[in-house]
Amino acid sequence: MTKKVFISHAQNDKKFADRICEKLETNGYSCWIAPRDIPYGTDWAGEITGSIKECRLFVFLLSKSSVESRQCPKEITLADNAGKPMICIQMDETKMNPMMEYHFLSGQLCYFNPEKPDETLDELLISAKRILGEPEKPEPAEKTPERKKTDEPTVPQTIPTVPPQAPPTYPRQDPTPAPQPGPKIPQPSPAPQPGPKIPQPSPAPQPGTKIPQPNPAPPQQWTAAPPGRNPVQTASQNQFPPQNKKKPVYKKVWFWIVIILGVNISCIIFLLILGVLSSGVPQSGIDPDQKAEVKYEITDTYNRCYQNEYSNVRQTVIVQIKNTGTCNIDFGTCEYDVNDPDSHFITKSYFSVFPPVVAPGEICYLFNSKYLPEGCSADVEYQIEPKIDARETTAHTEYLEVYDLDSRVELGYPTVTGRVRNGTGTGCSSVSASFVCSTPDGRIILIDHAYIGNLEAGASDSFENYMYELPDDVDFNTLDVKVYAVSKIQ
């Protein structure tokens, strides 16, 4: 059975992807989602490729996990080559890598609200209805007959009550026998017990006699406790005299003033030394005394249209630029307009850049390969109008080591695989592998790239790229393919 909607997602986003699948299938749109729809023992790559070609709508969940995934970019490329309508649901703040942006320029973007996920599902359902049309209404289920209510009154059941019964009484039996009458035995009288003495009143003093006065209490004396003894046990009156203890150094104000002044002076000296060292070192081989000038020249342009196996017209554009200025140039967001031979506007697209930063005197390439709108012909020479954004930068391009290269035909497309090692001694971000394909006479006819990601110092990673944009009339075995792994270093 052909599925109408293909859902592309990473494993960490499966929970929300299942909710999307349930929402669409509840409303009559069948979905294909992995791993549910991959039969056991089948070729999963072939199942994914066939399902994307047969579906009518491609839904992609954009997140950090899907960008770092190795399968989601391949599924986006297959959907773009097949000309399928695409909808992207952005799960977080993660942005697409350059390869995804290249294949997703004509797609629709929806933003996921984690506080109101049902609004995102409703927006997706509206877009699916607009693209796929109204689904077939299922037949209504048979209603179960309701139970008829009777008017007969219900008679409450009375529970008979049993009167309480008094507990049985038994005659009391004394275990000790009653004493028998007999002669009385005389008992000895008890001895008198000692009791408290009753104080007798003292006689009144006679006149002329002296009354003795009590001796005054001796003055309180202190005794020091020996080492290791409890002072309560050795001091008279269970007290110990107070001692004058010295305050620790770290509790004094002058100690912290000295610490703060020392830290501030050390920071100032470190910044001064760093400024002196950095001022005398030129960055990226540029003379600091020379005035920066952004200047470039377009030295060559390659523009070709061809028709693929799906009867779609694809245009490949390569613009060769030379940096004729005195500073490093970063070609930011460069775009171009496609016009017909009569200079009428048809569509607009964006360039990718290799290498990302161009030093003075070096050459870079702006390239893109895109399907033209319906109605365009491969026999017409369409004109391009580049709009270049060149900016001065202090960054430079770092080339990494590429090894274990291999090429083969997979899924009907030429495929290049290999590995990249970061031997620069520092971490590199946004590493990508660029593939430059040229004919035996040195003419560059195709440039493509595969996004790898971040690489720590000494780390390595693998890459794999399908040459979807290669025309059918070009033999891949006759091309000279050079692979470069680059990273933009600030």
DSSP readout, 232-249? HHHSGGG------PPPPG
| pLDDT value for 165 | 55
CB-CB neighbours of 139 under 10 Å? 6
DSSP symbol at 139: P
Model confidence pLDDT, tens digit, residues 217-233:
555 444 444 554 444 44
Bigger pLDDT: 113 or 182? 113
Q: How far is it, in rounded angstroms, from Cα 461 to Cα 323?
A: 31
Burial of 454 (0-12, 13-18, 19+ CB in 10 A): middle
Q: How far is it, in rounded angstroms, from Cα 323 to Cα 227?
A: 86
Report whether pLDDT(356) > 70. yes
Q: How far is it, in rounded angstroms, from Cα 416 to Cα 402?
A: 12
CB-CB neighbours of 468 under 10 Å? 18
For residue 365, name the pLDDT band (cuts at 50, 70, 90): very high
CB 468 within 8 A of CB 403: no
Segment 261-276 shows an average pLDDT of 91
Bigger pLDDT: 24 or 201? 24
Burial of 86 (0-12, 13-18, 19+ CB in 10 A): buried
Least confident range from 123-132, 155-164, 248-257, 276-285: namely 155-164
Segment 258-279 shows an average pLDDT of 88
Model confidence pLDDT, tens digit, residues 388-430:
888 899 888 999 999 998 888 776 678 889 999 998 888 888 8
DSSP E strands in 324-362: the ranges are 329-331, 335-339, 345-350, 352-354, 357-358
- Residue 231: φ, ψ to 5°: -65, -20
| pLDDT value for 254 | 82
- Rg, Å, the chain Cα set: 47
Q: Which residue's structure tokens are 């061809």? A: 306
| pLDDT value for 427 | 87
- For residues 83, 84, 85, 89, the Cα torsion angle rounded to the nearest 10 degrees is -120
Report whether pLDDT(158) > 70. no
First CA to last CA across the chain, in angstroms?
A: 52
Segment 342-346 shows an average pLDDT of 88
For residue 113, name the pLDDT band (cuts at 50, 70, 90): confident
Widest distance between CA atoms in the chain: 154
| pLDDT value for 323 | 93
| pLDDT value for 327 | 92
Residues with Cβ < 8 Å from 158, sequence gap 6 or more?
none
Q: How far is CA 288 from the centre of its chain?
A: 41
Give the length of the chain.
490
Domains of the chain: 5-132 (3.40.50.10140), 296-392 (2.60.40.10), 396-489 (2.70.50.60)
| pLDDT value for 167 | 52
CB 388 within 8 A of CB 372: no
Segment 239-250 shows an average pLDDT of 58
Segment 88-106 shows an average pLDDT of 84
Least confident range from 67-81, 170-184, 288-302, 438-452: namely 170-184
| pLDDT value for 236 | 41
CB 433 within 8 A of CB 484: yes
| pLDDT value for 145 | 46
Q: How far is it, in rounded angstroms, from Cα 486 to Cα 489?
A: 10
Report whether pLDDT(357) > 70. yes
Report whether pLDDT(335) > 70. yes
For residue 474, name the pLDDT band (cuts at 50, 70, 90): confident
Q: How far is it, in rounded angstroms, from Cα 361 to Cα 363?
A: 7
| pLDDT value for 115 | 76
pTM of the model: 0.44
- The rounded mean pLDDT for the chain is 77
Report whether pLDDT(306) > 70. yes
| pLDDT value for 194 | 52
